[in-house]
Amino acid sequence: MKKDITFRPVEGVSIAVVPDATAPTAGEQQGWQVYLLNTNEEALQNVIVSSNGYGTSPEGEAIRTSTLRHVLPEVPAQAVAAIEPIDPALFHLHNQYWVSYYIGSQVFDKKFVFEPGTIAADKLTPIALLDEQPGVLHR
């Protein structure tokens, strides 16, 4: 049962959203790519990333995107894994990435939520694990 599982705090794992000219978009805007970063000294095993977006339209209607699930058998120590491209048309929503993984026999679990307006060109910072490529980092 879930109550019997001990969840330790997630450390050394983050999500980055980075401009990427090769990422597909629905329009003519710059494409962006979502990455999982592992700055731990141990590999992450059996990684599951569930992503979705939610919020309201300018007219006040509720919006919820499809939920996408990604499975990564392993993300090595000090490594980056591409998760999915993201269209800038979704930046006005809450963009949520729920990450679950194992290190050894310990399970870890964390939700990373990019609030509306936080993924923007004026919020870019260099990301060390991506060779100082600018992006928006959520720890």
Q: For 120, phi and psi rounded to 5 degrees?
A: -155, 155
**DSSP helix/strand/coil, 18:** strand
In the chain, domain spans: 11-118
Q: Which residues fall within 8 angstroms of residue 121, CB to CB, at 6 or more apart? A: 19
pTM of the model: 0.91
11-118: what CATH class? mainly beta
Give the CA distances from residue 67 to residues 28, 75, 97, in Å, rounded to whole numbers and listed in that order: 24, 22, 10
Phi-psi region of 117 (alpha: psi -120 to 50; beta: other; left: phi over 0): left
Alpha carbons within 13 A on the beta-carbon side of 123: 14
Per-run averaged pLDDT (10 residues), the chain, 139 residues:
77 96 68 96 98 93 97 98 94 97 94 96 95 95
Rounded to whole angstroms, the Cα distance separating 60 from 13 reads 34
Q: For 126, phi and psi rounded to 5 degrees?
A: -65, 140
pLDDT of residue 5: 72
